[in-house]
């Protein structure tokens, strides 16, 4: 019952996925209850203020305290809900956005119209050497911490991997490091979540989560091919 909202979401394969799903559920419940209340008030007034014999329509300018309270009370309630959500979700923010665990693998990710470029540092783990390579898909090992060092070439994009509950804007002039740890092997979709132009919808690729051994030999093979060029 308590997770009926995230029940509609793609399978979670991130170590921090449950923290994100908790916040999505919490906000979903609050918004749902608020929607019922707001629609209830709307329909109440629709019926109670309908045309009646002998009653002339009047204009309310909203200057009395009683009229204003219809705005002020909801404002206070919404602010209270906001603070409650902040209170309940700050630990997730801290865990995911502030305290980055040490990286096992580092990728550079650049957004541009209209593709993601992934740069792997190769076997030596250092960028800017001959064994760097740029795979079409984001290939990572399972159960290891992956850092994504995200930049943008032209406009704002957003790297979105729904199964990882991962979404991070890429912003021209900024370098933003994100992280994740996948818990399951397989292929999962990657999209751009920031409308960036006509090709926004085709800015797709795949997250491929491999077993550690398969990942290692893939890196070795890609690096060797890069060095041979």
- End-to-end Cα separation, the chain, in angstroms: 56
Q: How far is the CB of 59 from Cu ion (least distance, A)?
A: 48
Residue nearer to Cu ion on the CB measure, 106 or 192: 192
Task: Report the nearest approach of Cu ion to the CB of residue 21 (Å).
Answer: 25
CB closer to Cu ion, 145 vs 203: 203
Of the pair 196, 210, the CB lying nearest Cu ion is at 196
Give me the least distance between CB of 158 and Cu ion, in Å please.
7
- Residues in contact with Cu ion by CB under 5 A are 157, 192, 196, 203
Give least dist CB 168 to Cu ion, A: 12
At its nearest, how many Å lie between Cu ion and the CB of residue 96? 22
Cβ neighbors of 129 (< 8 A, separation 6 or more) are 121, 122
CB of 175: closest distance to Cu ion in angstroms? Answer: 17
Please state, in angstroms and rounded to a whole number, the distance separating the CA atoms of residues 122 and 147: 14
**Which CB atom, from 143 or from 200, has the smaller least distance to Cu ion?**
200
Total number of residues shown for the chain:
229
Q: What is the DSSP string of the chain?
A: -TTTTGGGSPPP-BTTHHHHHHHHHHHHHHHHHHHHHHHHHHHHHHHHTS--TT-------S-SHHHHHHHHHHHHHHHHHHHHHHHHHHHHHIIIIISPPPPSEEEEEEEETTEEEEEB-TTTT-TTSTT-B--SSEEEETTSEEEEEEEESSS-EEEEEGGGTEEEEE-TT--EEEEEEB-S-EEEEEEE-S--STTGGG--EEEEEE-HHHHHHHHHHHHHHHHH-
Q: Which is nearer to Cu ion, 54 or 173 (CB)?
A: 173
In the complex with Cu ion, the residue whose CB is nearer, 20 or 203, is 203
CB of 162 to Cu ion, least distance (A): 15
Q: Which is nearer to Cu ion, 146 or 192 (CB)?
A: 192
Distance CA 22, CA 85 (A): 11
């Amino acid at each position: 019952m308590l997770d009926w909202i995230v029940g509609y979401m793609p399978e979670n394969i991130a170590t921090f996925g449950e923290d994100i799903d908790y916040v999505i559920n919490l906000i979903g419940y609050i918004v749902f209850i608020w929607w019922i209340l707001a629609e209830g008030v709307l329909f109440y007034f629709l019926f109670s203020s309908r045309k009646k014999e002998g009653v002339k329509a009047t204009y309310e300018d909203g200057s009395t305290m009683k009229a204003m309270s219809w705005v002020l009370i909801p404002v206070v309630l919404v602010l209270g809900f906001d603070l409650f959500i902040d209170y309940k979700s700050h630990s997730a923010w801290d865990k995911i956005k502030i305290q980055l665990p040490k990286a096992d693998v580092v990728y550079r990710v650049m957004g541009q119209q209209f593709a993601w470029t992934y740069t792997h540092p190769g076997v030596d783990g250092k960028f800017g050497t001959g064994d760097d390579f740029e795979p079409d898909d984001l290939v990572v090992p399972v159960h290891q911490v992956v850092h994504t060092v995200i930049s943008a070439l032209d406009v704002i994009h957003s790297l979105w991997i729904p199964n990882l509950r991962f979404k991070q804007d890429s912003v021209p002039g900024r370098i933003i490091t994100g992280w994740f740890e996948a818990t399951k092997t397989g292929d999962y979709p990657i999209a751009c979540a920031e409308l960036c132009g006509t090709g926004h919808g085709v800015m797709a690729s795949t997250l491929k989560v491999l077993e550690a051994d398969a990942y290692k030999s893939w890196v070795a093979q890609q690096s060797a091919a890069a060095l041979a060029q």
